[in-house]
Structure 1
Amino acid sequence: MTIKSNTPAHDKDCWQTPLWLFDALDIEFGFWLDS
């Protein structure tokens, strides 16, 4: 199954989890990899 994305190619790699959110979830769940 292929999912079609409407996001322009130049925008696809510009997104990441906000650091404040990642830090809060890391404290809660003990992440060791953000993927």
Structure 2
Amino acid sequence: MTIKSNTPAHDKDCWQTPLWLFDALDIEFGF
């Protein structure tokens, strides 16, 4: 999954879904 993108919409989505949440999901569920 690509976290970084030059598109404003994608950047907005990234900020709405914090990176720590991805890390937490990865640790908890092994995604």
- What TM-score comes out, normalization by structure 1 length? 0.37
Q: How many pairs does the alignment contain?
A: 31
Considering fraction of residues, name the structure with more helix. 2
- What TM-score comes out, normalization by structure 2 length? 0.40
Unaligned runs of 5+ in 1: none
TM-align CA RMSD: 7.2
Unaligned runs of 5+ in 2: none
Identity of aligned residues (%): 100
Q: 1:2, 1:19 → 2: CA distance?
A: 12
Considering only CA atoms, is the larger Rg found in Structure 1 or Structure 2? Answer: 1
Question: Residues 16 and 29 (structure 1 numbering): CA distance in 2 closer, same or farther, change over 3 Å?
Answer: same
